[in-house]
Structure 1
Amino acid sequence: MKHDRPARRSDDTMATDYGTRTPPQHTLHPALRAPFSARAWKEFAYLLLNLPMGILFFVYAVTTVSLSAGLLVTFIGIPLLAAALVGCRGLGAVERTRARALLGLDIASPLPVRGKKSGLMSWVGAVLKSGVSWRHLLYGFLHFPWAVFSFVTSVTFVITGWSLFLYPLWQWVFPEYTDQDGIALFSDGTNDFYLDTPFETAATSVVGLVLVLASPWLIRGLTGVDRLLVAGLLGPSKLATRVSELESDRGVVVDTAAADLRRIERDLHDGAQARLVALAMDLGLAKEKLLDDPEAAARMVDEAHGEVKVALQELRDLARGIHPAVLTDRGLDAALSSVASRCTVPVQVEVDLDQRPAAAIEGIAYFTVSELLQNVSKHAQAGRASVDVWRMQDRLMLQVADDGRGGANTTSGSGLAGLAERLDAVDGILVVDSPVGGPTTVTAELPWRK
């Protein structure tokens, strides 16, 4: 089977309303707009602040670490070192805020330091054992030389570029207030060469324009290094981030399991259980009428037989909702074909798998497609739909498409939002492409884990 799949969209495609945002149209080329863009000036402001912040952080780090190292022979040296590291974390918070405001770099704050026991020494030990605290200190040492270099480079480049570009507007300053005719390119006391002719003035302005147009890209490259430093040294560790993600995913899994149990209990109570209770009452009445009115008793038994069939069908549906036997016995192809046959619109199912994924992933894939097809039946107003399943390296790919009215979204509280959370709990991804007016394509990606 051929897989001409749409390329994965960037994060902004996960917006809540597709097709309603039209990107602004610009007449100028991006290279010409860059020197006047807010991003360029914010990044330049960041580099300007690099010098004072770099000096402050470096001086603080050197002073406090030197002082605490000198006092390590006394008791006060160790708590002082811990306090110095905490101060570095505070300055790191300022740096993260600056990067968030001027670079658009949103770095999560590291987890606060907590001792295993209450008391000063437990807290001091936790601070000294924290790799995050030492990385903040390392940032103070490494960022200072880079801050000096980036400040000098950016200021020199920007001021030189704009000064040369605007040279025709301020050239008159030289003959008016100095003994020169213009900018002196060469002077040895005997021979002087000034930029004073119309051609030289125009050429100077062109050179300045080139520098002005190049300055945003130079600034962007310089701030790229700052992004790496902030993200690598001032953010939480990868292990802490992963632990936080797993804790969040565990909460989603627990909530989902609890919701499923409540749904099963409700379905049993309101469905099969209530029907079986009514069936028992009907059979009791039929037993009482068996001798007095055999014909009425026979009718009641016949009705009870019909109720038994309905109750059995409800129990089968409930069991299929928990885990269908066809999925266990025959895999995704047969199980998804069974789901598609119950959809209100024609569904074409294509499953291209050379082997079966892990049982848990297979079950999640089945219920994902089931829920998406239910959305097609209830909300899409579609004429047809399709389900494609294939493997891409170590990932299981699912794609459900329909030609309905579109407008599906992943806003909080929607069914797709809950589905996205459940997939995220197992390191899965849900991508929705549903412009108003259709068509809708929902792509899910799950780990293979075989």
Structure 2
Amino acid sequence: MATQYGQGYGEWGDPGSQGAGGRPHRLPAALRAPIEARSWGELCYLLLSLPIGIVMFTYSVTMFSLGAGLLVTFLGIPVLAAALAGCRGFAALERARARGLLGLDVAAPEPLRVKGDGPMAWIGAILKSGTSWRQMLYTVVQFPWAVFSFVVGVVFWTCGWSLLTYPLWFWALPLNGGQNGIQLYGDETHQFYLDNPFEITVTALVGLLITLATPWIVRGLTTVDRLLVYGLLGPSRLATRVVELESDRGVVVDTAAADLRRIERDLHDGAQARLVNLAMDLGLAKEKLTEDPQAAARMVDEAHGEVKTALQELRDLARGIHPAVLTDRGLDAALSAVASRCTVPVQVEVDLPTRPVPAIEGIAYFTVSELLQNVSKHARASRATVDVWRVENRLLLQVTDDGVGGADASGGSGLAGLAGRLDAVDGVLVVDSPVGGPTRITAELPWRA
């Protein structure tokens, strides 16, 4: 089920304008950035990146070189496997460090799929793992960037705070030719010192500007670190897609099993029970045919009514499986038929250039059917609308009503199950239903013609 996309940045969130408890900050973001916990966390990340990067780079290059050199013998293979295993450990450390200091929560990649028992099976699995090689690449690429970001971050941070606090410590500088301050320039004939009140004030103001700019420079540097961690240490897109498809397959199987159980229950409790009663009634009528023809005629007449009821139930059941009007005439006619059975007036607008594939068309039909059933049962609305249109390669459905609102797509509700069905075919369900209404539910499906 999906209603949102994207990767968040964890506890730091968005650098908005609210403080703790949702209260607005008294200081704008530019002024409070140097003293925010986020800024200090990002600075600590840069400071730790260099020593950790040295260790990771040294380990990876040494072990890889040793393993590659020993490939002429059998010893090179286990050495390379050990190198990749160490890189997986470093990757776990880096994900934890990014989570704690940057607020970046990156999921762990898929575990090793070891086929068989013994050390050789494990060595083969880790050598064939693309994730392990990406993590080794991270240990190599991260090091030069760690050197650059460490130098830039430390220089700007120390210069900014040093110049900002210059009025507090300039007097402690040793006298140099009768001057007491920082020497900016000096030769045999000219010297320039920052020692009078005006120069000291200007120095502090320059330090203030650098101090205010430094957190944003550090934030830009750590953005690259975020991209490296997210791109090289998290699960690959292919693995993530495989997990999604496996989950979607499970949803499809569960949905199909539930539909089969529903059909079996409807047949057993409905049409089958009526047909059994019909057979019994016809048997009694047959026995009374010679003794009491009038009673037999009445029983046959009642059986005829039961046949009509059973046929109607079978038609409704067949319509619930796949309506014939959908197959013959498409979504416009099928949704108009569904709307006519709703307890409130429904306006249907279908604007499609062509028909999608039957599978997507069927999902769209049943999605609108279920949403209109919710309108009839729960919305207490006076009218509703159904809009269907295509945008590029997506089919969009929107059902709105002027009811009481409060529709919830959380786990356990009918909307949650509907969202799961849509997600199984790469669809999305978005629910906008404030208390008091109106309710607007939008479904998005892939267009497959």
Q: TM-score surpassing 0.5?
A: yes
Match of 1:193, SS state, is strand
Greater shift in the superposed pair: 320-329 or 116-125: 116-125
Greater shift in the superposed pair: 72-81 or 311-320: 72-81
Equivalent in the alignment of 1:142: 141
Equivalent in the alignment of 1:242: 241
Equivalent in the alignment of 1:175: 171
Q: 1:176 & 1:46 partners in 2: Cα distance? A: 32
Percent identity between matched residues is: 72
Match of 1:344, SS state, is coil
Following superposition of structure 1 onto structure 2, how do residues 368-407 of structure 1 map, counting pairs within 5 Å?
Answer: 368-407=367-406
Structure 2 gap segments, 5+ residues each: 8-20
Q: What RMSD in Å do the two structures reach over aligned CA positions?
A: 2.3
Could you tell me whether the CA contact under 8 Å between 2:173 and 2:181 is conserved in 1?
Answer: no
Following superposition of structure 1 onto structure 2, how do residues 205-216 of structure 1 map, counting pairs within 5 Å?
Answer: 205-216=204-215
Question: Shift of the alpha carbon at 1:437?
Answer: 2.1
Equivalent in the alignment of 2:10: none
Question: Shift of the alpha carbon at 1:279?
Answer: 2.0
Letter in 1 for 2:409: T
Equivalent in the alignment of 2:264: 265
Q: 2:230 & 2:207 partners in 1: Cα distance? A: 34
Question: Shift of the alpha carbon at 1:347?
Answer: 1.4
- Scaled by the length of structure 2, the TM-score of the pair is 0.89
Q: 1:403 & 1:208 partners in 2: Cα distance? A: 59
- Change beyond 3 A, Cα 1:11–1:176: closer
Residues 242-283 of structure 1: CA deviation (Å, up to 9, x unaligned): 222211111111111111111111111111111221222222
Q: 2:220 & 2:401 partners in 1: Cα distance? A: 44
Q: 1:102 & 1:387 partners in 2: Cα distance? A: 48
- Scaled by the length of structure 1, the TM-score of the pair is 0.89
Greater shift in the superposed pair: 47-56 or 138-147: 47-56
Residues 177-228 of structure 1: CA deviation (Å, up to 9, x unaligned): 6325333333447544333444333333332332233223212211121122
Residues 35-75 of structure 1: CA deviation (Å, up to 9, x unaligned): 34433333222222211221121121122223323433333
Q: 2:187 & 2:381 partners in 1: Cα distance? A: 84
Q: 1:373 & 1:73 partners in 2: Cα distance? A: 70
Could you tell me whether the CA contact under 8 Å between 2:397 and 2:443 is conserved in 1?
Answer: yes
Match of 1:72, SS state, is helix
Structure 1 gap segments, 5+ residues each: 1-7, 13-21
Letter in 2 for 1:306: G
Greater shift in the superposed pair: 27-36 or 305-314: 27-36
Equivalent in the alignment of 1:94: 93
Question: Shift of the alpha carbon at 1:365?
Answer: 0.6
Q: 1:355 & 1:46 partners in 2: Cα distance? A: 54
Q: 2:195 & 2:377 partners in 1: Cα distance? A: 77
Letter in 1 for 2:340: S
Equivalent in the alignment of 1:322: 321
Question: Shift of the alpha carbon at 1:120?
Answer: 2.5
Equivalent in the alignment of 2:162: 163
**Structure of greater relative contact order (alpha carbons < 8 Å, 6+ residues apart):** 1
Q: 2:60 & 2:401 partners in 1: Cα distance? A: 60
Match of 2:99, SS state, is helix
Q: 2:357 & 2:191 partners in 1: Cα distance? A: 82
Equivalent in the alignment of 1:334: 333
Match of 1:111, SS state, is coil
Following superposition of structure 1 onto structure 2, how do residues 17-96 of structure 1 map, counting pairs within 5 Å?
Answer: 24-96=23-95
Question: Shift of the alpha carbon at 1:10?
Answer: 6.9
Question: Shift of the alpha carbon at 1:398?
Answer: 0.9
Equivalent in the alignment of 1:185: 184
